[in-house]
Structure 1
Amino acid sequence: LTQDVPSPLKVSHSRFNTLREDDLAARGYELLTASPEAGVDIFARQFRSQFIFFQGHPEYDALSLQGEYQRDISRFLAGERNTYPAVPAGYFDTETENRLSVFQQRASVKRRPALSTELPAMTVRADTATEAAATVIFRNWLGYLSGSARAALPRAGRGAQR
Structure 2
Amino acid sequence: MPINIPIDLPARRILESENIFVMDEKRAFHQDIRPLNIVILNLMPQKIRTETQLLRLLGNSPLQVYFTFLIPATHAPKNTARQHLEQFYTTFSAIKDRKFDGMIITGAPIEHLPYENVSYWNELKEIFDWSKTHVTSTLHICWGAQAGLYHHYGIRKAKLSKKLFGVFEHKLLQKNERLVRGFEEFFYVPHSRHTDINIDDLKTISQLQVLSVSEDAGVCLIVSKDEKQIFLTGHPEYDTDTLKEEYERDLAKNIEIDPPLNYFKDIDGRALPINRWKAHATLLFMNWLNYYVYQETPYEWK
Identify whether the pair has TM-score above 0.5, normalized to the shorter chain: yes
Q: What's 1:148 paired with? A: 296
Among candidates 204, 216, 223, match of residue 44 of structure 1 = 223
Q: What's 1:62 paired with? A: 240
Provide the C-alpha distance between the structure 1 equivalents of 2:238 and 2:280, rounded to a whole number of angstroms.
10
Amino acid at match of 2:210: L
Provide the C-alpha distance between the structure 2 equivalents of 1:94 and 1:18, rounded to a whole number of angstroms.
30
Q: What's 2:182 paired with? A: 4
Displacement of 1:6 after TM fit? 4.2
Indicate conservation of the 8 Å contact 1:32/1:43, yes or no: yes
Provide the C-alpha distance between the structure 2 equivalents of 1:72 and 1:16, rounded to a whole number of angstroms.
14
Amino acid at match of 2:271: M
Amino acid at match of 1:148: E
Amino acid at match of 2:234: G
SS at match of 1:69: helix
Gaps of 5+ in 2: 1-178
Alignment RMSD, CA only?
2.9
Return the index of the structure with the highest Cα Rg. Answer: 1
Displacement of 1:94 after TM fit? 6.0
Residue 164 of structure 2 corresponds to residue 16 of structure 1: no
Higher strand share: 2
- What do residues 26-79 of structure 1 show as CA deviations (whole Å, max 9, x unaligned)? 1342101111111111111257x6110111111112211111111111222xxx
Residue correspondences, number: 122
Amino acid at match of 1:40: V
Provide the C-alpha distance between the structure 1 equivalents of 2:239 and 2:185, rounded to a whole number of angstroms.
18
Q: What's 1:90 paired with? A: 262
SS at match of 1:34: strand
SS at match of 1:32: strand
- Hey, which bits of structure 1, 4+ residues long, moved more than 3 A? none
Indicate conservation of the 8 Å contact 2:222/2:232, yes or no: yes
TM-score (norm 1): 0.63
Aligned sequence identity (%): 31
Higher relative contact order (CA 8 A, sep 6+): 1
Provide the C-alpha distance between the structure 1 equivalents of 2:195 and 2:233, rounded to a whole number of angstroms.
7
Higher helix share: 1
- What do residues 2-26 of structure 1 show as CA deviations (whole Å, max 9, x unaligned)? 1112452111112424102111121
Among candidates 168, 188, 203, match of residue 25 of structure 1 = 203
TM-score (norm 2): 0.36
Indicate conservation of the 8 Å contact 2:212/2:221, yes or no: yes
SS at match of 1:40: strand
Gaps of 5+ in 1: 100-120, 155-160
